[in-house]
A and B are shown apart, each in its own frame.
Chain A
């Protein structure tokens, strides 16, 4: 999809694949635009800024979700989470387009609440106590140039700038937690069977969204992905694909193919957003 993110052109694409081992694809992704409700048909107003603001797309939404493997109904959880998120945002979030501190904090609180609402819906629909279906969720809302991030689980968001790939999220896994606490080394975390277990997930017994933001620049490339990519494709290889250029669609296809070539042991989902053409 080619569009404009405010002042810069944007090329974005999403792709998901069931992989080579799983029978079911439990991942979901969404690329959406958030529009204001006022659409001018005809006006005598001459305030060009106002007219442009009302007429244009204000924000873009990018979401990936990975139904938790090993639990029944992972695909139900990821589907429910993303559907709930979209419904909540449709009702509760008016596109946000200026860096006003109070409005920005309200906007961030609503984004976070949308994730909480999705978590509650999974618990209501598929069972309480956090033992039913669960899902990760990584969501970026782009209101140029600012990208707002809400993250739960071990799907990831990255951005590439000047050839350098930076991970915007941190995996909420047992391994990461134990390393942070000083109880395990990274090698122990990598070896441990429970190292990859999620300590935070929508529908899980714990759900702790992490909120952040970053101001993007023309030329940046944003990547959202599930762990079906990162368990097979290392960061330097991801960086090489994003840096090589080409369309967002071509990058998505190459990343997914790389994961499949390396074993494709899990569902794999990617969204690539190229900013600045």
Chain B
């Protein structure tokens, strides 16, 4: 069995837990609970004829008082960065979080989820921001943990990339 550790990284309240809940349990909670420490879920994904078990580390989001411990990121096979498309700060802090993850986990496949696309009237990210991410070499997907849009696609992309990467963290 191939197991891949995927860390969910982003500011608090960007929807990391909701994305995992939608992907693993097909549910969406309307009530916000901040994650304490790390919550771990698993789901097997079939990619190119191979079963890959994603071990999803849902890390407490960065907030004003605490940063993301590097010890949680070590040994990751992939990172899913989550940006709240309705909150500018979650986009602005992405480069810093990517640098933190790179320092702790090395060069591993990563994806940027621009989350909460269901909140169309509050969406603040445009083509300019997406172009900036593309210029930095980021693989970007728009997601909604509420509707499920893009969620399966995001995790399946990561599973495929980690399987292709040979299964070893950097």
Q: Which residues of A contact B (CB under 8 A)?
A: 99-102, 104-105, 108, 146-147, 149, 166-168, 170, 179-182, 210-215
Q: Is the interface of A mostly helix, strand, loop or mixed?
A: mixed
A168-B36, A181-B30 are known; give 17 further A-B pairs, CB within 8 A: A99-B71, A99-B74, A101-B74, A101-B75, A101-B76, A102-B3, A104-B75, A166-B36, A167-B36, A179-B31, A182-B29, A212-B36, A212-B40, A213-B37, A213-B38, A214-B38, A215-B71
Q: Which residues of B contact A (CB under 8 A)?
A: 3, 5, 29-31, 33, 36-41, 55, 69, 71-72, 74-76, 169
B14 to chain A, nearest CB (A): 18
> Hey, which chain A residues are within 8 Å of B39, CB to CB?
210-212
A-B contact count (CB 8 A): 51
Q: How far is the CA of A213 from the CA of B75 in the complex (A)?
A: 15
> Hey, which chain B residues are within 8 Å of A108, CB to CB?
40
Q: Which residue of B lies closest to A183 (CB)?
A: B30
Q: Which residue of B lies closest to A162 (CB)?
A: B65
Write 5 A-B pairs (CB below 8 A) sorted by A numbering. A99-B75, A105-B5, A168-B37, A180-B31, A182-B30
Q: How far is the CA of A168 from the CA of B40 in the complex (A)?
A: 13
Q: How far is the CA of A104 from the CA of B31 in the complex (A)?
A: 31
Q: Which residue of A lies closest to B77 (CB)?
A: A101
Q: How far is the CA of A166 from the CA of B41 in the complex (A)?
A: 21
> Hey, which chain A residues are within 8 Å of B37, CB to CB?
147, 149, 168, 212-215
From known contacts A181-B29, A181-B30, A182-B31, infer whether A211 and B72 are also in contact, taking CB-CB under 8 Å. no
- Does A105 lie within 8 Å of B3, measured CB to CB? yes
> Hey, which chain A residues are within 8 Å of B33, CB to CB?
170
> Hey, which chain B residues are within 8 Å of A101, CB to CB?
5, 74-76, 169
Q: Which residue of B lies closest to A164 (CB)?
A: B65
- Does B29 lie within 8 Å of A180, measured CB to CB? yes
Q: How far is the CA of A21 from the CA of B47 in the complex (A)?
A: 56
From known contacts A99-B74, A100-B75, A105-B5, infer whether A211 and B36 are also in contact, taking CB-CB under 8 Å. no
B19 to chain A, nearest CB (A): 15
B152 to chain A, nearest CB (A): 21
Q: How far is the CA of A168 from the CA of B37 in the complex (A)?
A: 8
Which 5 residue pairs are nearest across A and B when measured between Cβ atoms?
Answer: A214-B37, A101-B75, A182-B30, A180-B29, A211-B40
Q: How far is the CA of A147 from the CA of B38 in the complex (A)?
A: 10
B71 to chain A, nearest CB (A): 6
A97 to chain B, nearest CB (A): 15
> Hey, which chain A residues are within 8 Å of B76, CB to CB?
101
From known contacts A101-B169, A105-B55, A180-B30, infer whether A215 and B72 are also in contact, taking CB-CB under 8 Å. yes
- Does A215 lie within 8 Å of B69, measured CB to CB? yes
Q: Which residue of A lies closest to B30 (CB)?
A: A182
Q: Which residue of A lies closest to B32 (CB)?
A: A180
Q: Which residue of A lies closest to B35 (CB)?
A: A212
Q: How far is the CA of A170 from the CA of B37 in the complex (A)?
A: 13
Q: How far is the CA of A102 from the CA of B76 in the complex (A)?
A: 10
B35 to chain A, nearest CB (A): 8
> Hey, which chain B residues are within 8 Å of A100, CB to CB?
75
B20 to chain A, nearest CB (A): 12
Q: Which residue of B lies closest to A108 (CB)?
A: B40
- Does A214 lie within 8 Å of B55, measured CB to CB? no
